[in-house]
């Protein structure tokens, strides 16, 4: 039986692997970009570096990490840190594309353009999360347990709300968030966002 536990620094490589294997609207994104590591550098590793206390993993019986949830309790502060401290370590390795033609070009533009104040939903929903689960975790209630664990911690911290963005093609994820009581929020064309408000 799989179980949930807090993130450990030794989980870092496993988080990157799970991120890649679920990044294509829930499917394997291996080979989609010229460097698979880009996925984790944007959507998993910066969170566990800045907020290891808001990260949990799903561990299989054999000890493998087969899913995770990472989060921040303050999106604007996180995005400023990402822009000023995290991404400069990788910006030369992943230069901005001269033209946004491919999916990778658009992702690099997103990476180089991140910063505080760019997510309007962060005003009333300051926290945000990323959750990725391999197919073998499905049907065990582990995703729900991960999100509830985060919600409980955010309530304990007095955070007023949480938002998330997702690929609209991932219809299973949308249904999952709605079952957890999250509701649609305004989003850019081609994107989808959900949110929840906490009352203490």
Instruction: Dump pLDDT digits (tens) for 17-58.
Output: 999 999 998 899 999 999 999 999 999 999 999 999 999 999
Q: Parse the chain into domains and list their residue ranges.
A: 3-197
Q: Which helix (H) or strand (E) holds 30?
A: none
- Which pair of structure tokens corresponds to residue 109? 């533009």
pTM across the whole model: 0.94
Residue 165: other Cβ atoms inside 10 A: 16
- Which pair of structure tokens corresponds to residue 138? 């499905």
The strand pair at 3-6 and 55-59 is best described as antiparallel
- H-helix segments, the chain: 12-22, 37-43, 45-50, 75-81, 103-113, 142-156, 171-179
Residue 1 has pLDDT above 80, yes or no: yes
* Residue whose pair of structure tokens reads 């609209």 in the numeric block: 168
- Which pair of structure tokens corresponds to residue 198? 């906490």
Q: What percent of the chain has pLDDT over 90?
A: 86
- As its CATH architecture, domain 3-197 has 3-Layer(aba) Sandwich (3.40)
Compute the distance between CA of residue 165 and CA of residue 193 in angstroms, rounded to an integer: 4
Q: What is the pLDDT of residue 200?
A: 56
pLDDT class for 116, splitting at 50, 70, 90?
very high
pLDDT class for 169, splitting at 50, 70, 90?
confident
- Which pair of structure tokens corresponds to residue 50? 């800045």
3-state secondary structure of 130: strand
Q: What is the pLDDT of residue 188?
A: 87
pLDDT top residue among 148 and 166: 148
Positive or negative, the CA dihedral 195, 152, 146, 9 is positive
Q: What is the pLDDT of residue 114?
A: 97
Using one digit for the tens of pLDDT, what is the confidence trace for 73-93?
A: 999 999 999 999 999 999 999
Q: Which helix (H) or strand (E) holds 2?
A: none
Compute the distance between CA of residue 128 and CA of residue 69 in angstroms, rounded to an integer: 11
3-state secondary structure of 90: coil
């Amino acid at each position: 039986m799989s179980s949930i536990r807090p993130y450990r620094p030794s989980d870092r490589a496993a988080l990157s692997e799970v991120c890649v294997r679920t990044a294509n609207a829930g499917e394997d994104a291996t080979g989609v970009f010229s460097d698979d590591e880009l996925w984790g550098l944007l959507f998993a590793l910066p969170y566990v570096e800045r907020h290891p206390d808001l990260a949990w993993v799903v561990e299989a019986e054999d000890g493998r990490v087969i899913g995770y949830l990472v989060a921040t309790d303050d999106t604007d502060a996180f995005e400023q840190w990402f822009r000023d401290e995290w991404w400069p370590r990788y910006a030369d390795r992943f230069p901005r594309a001269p033209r946004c033609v491919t999916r990778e070009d658009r992702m690099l533009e997103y990476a180089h353009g991140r910063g505080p104040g760019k997510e309007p939903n962060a005003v009333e929903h300051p926290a945000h999360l990323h959750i990725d689960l391999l197919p073998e975790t499905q049907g065990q209630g582990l995703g729900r347990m991960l999100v509830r664990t985060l919600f409980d911690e955010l309530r304990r911290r007095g955070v007023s709300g949480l938002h998330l963005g997702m690929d609209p093609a991932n219809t299973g994820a949308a249904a999952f968030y709605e079952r957890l009581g999250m509701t649609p929020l305004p989003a850019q064309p081609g994107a989808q966002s959900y949110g929840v408000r906490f009352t203490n």
